[in-house]
Amino acid sequence: MLAKRIIPCLDIKDGQTVKGVNFVNIRNVGDPVELGAEYSRQGADELVFLDITASHEGRKTFVDLVRRIAQNISIPFTVGGGIHELKDVDTLLSAGADKVSINSAAIKNPDLISEVAKNFGSQVCTVAIDAKLEDGEWTCFLNGGRIPTDKKLFSWAKEAQERGAGEILFTSMNHDGVKQGFANDALARLSESLSIPVIASGGAGTMEHFRDVFAEGKADAALAASIFHFHEIAIPDLKQYLKQQGVPVRLTC
């Protein structure tokens, strides 16, 4: 069985790492270069950088910041936010990203998924989906959770896979920052319906939540932010716990 991945996430606003609850009440949590370097040292499997206001503000990702982070880590690096065309992907890969995460742009222009996969390989293309459970249905949102769309989680994830996405990063807006556990039912349904990896995001609060997202949610990877940023859980400790629970993980520390 492939090792399950633990992925810290740097949500970036105005060049600083921030964190909110349910996509609002944003607060500053530190320097992204320092945080990225520390997570790399701790044995994180990957690092995700999301410029959370780039799409909303209609601008490109902070490329210089991406480059500085990439120079200070030795783990795979995914960058998202403000990616609208192939040139943006090329720029970020040249700056040190290993993968790109597209969200709003993919919903607005689904052909972008195919173009990225065709030109750079499916392994480079992560499709991020921010969705909220409303009236029994998971609705996808644009621009960092600000604008609802007519896209539904499961059908959109399936389409993204068919268009060439290499993995799906699903964030439950209902669970984001609440620390009550991941959306395991939805994650299990996603994982069972797709043949590409699913990254779980939104809801991590305890080590048990990570165990459950792998056992019950059938996720391939789990992403978290505040519990790592605020030193509530250390990545080496989390991986030792998961190993003891029978979850296959990569130990480096």
Q: Is 45 a catalytic residue?
A: no
**CA atoms of 114 and 164, how far apart (whole Å):** 5
pLDDT given at position 177? 76
Please pick, among 45, 130, 176, 220, the residue that the annotation labels catalytic. Answer: 130
Residue 132 has pLDDT above 70, yes or no: yes
Please pick, among 11, 45, 176, 212, the residue that the annotation labels catalytic. Answer: 11
Domain ranges of the chain: 5-244
**CA atoms of 49 and 174, how far apart (whole Å):** 21
Give the dihedral of Cα atoms 88, 115, 139, 81; nearest 10 deg.
Answer: -10
Q: Is 176 a catalytic residue?
A: no
**CA atoms of 95 and 181, how far apart (whole Å):** 34
Give the dihedral of Cα atoms 186, 188, 192, 198; nearest 10 deg.
Answer: 80
**CA atoms of 225 and 11, how far apart (whole Å):** 8
CATH number for domain 5-244, candidates 3.40.50.970, 3.20.20.70, 3.30.450.40, 3.40.50.12280: 3.20.20.70
- pLDDT tens sequence across 32-83: 999 999 999 999 999 999 886 665 555 566 888 999 999 999 999 999 988 9
pLDDT given at position 23? 46
Does the pTM surpass 0.85? The reply is yes
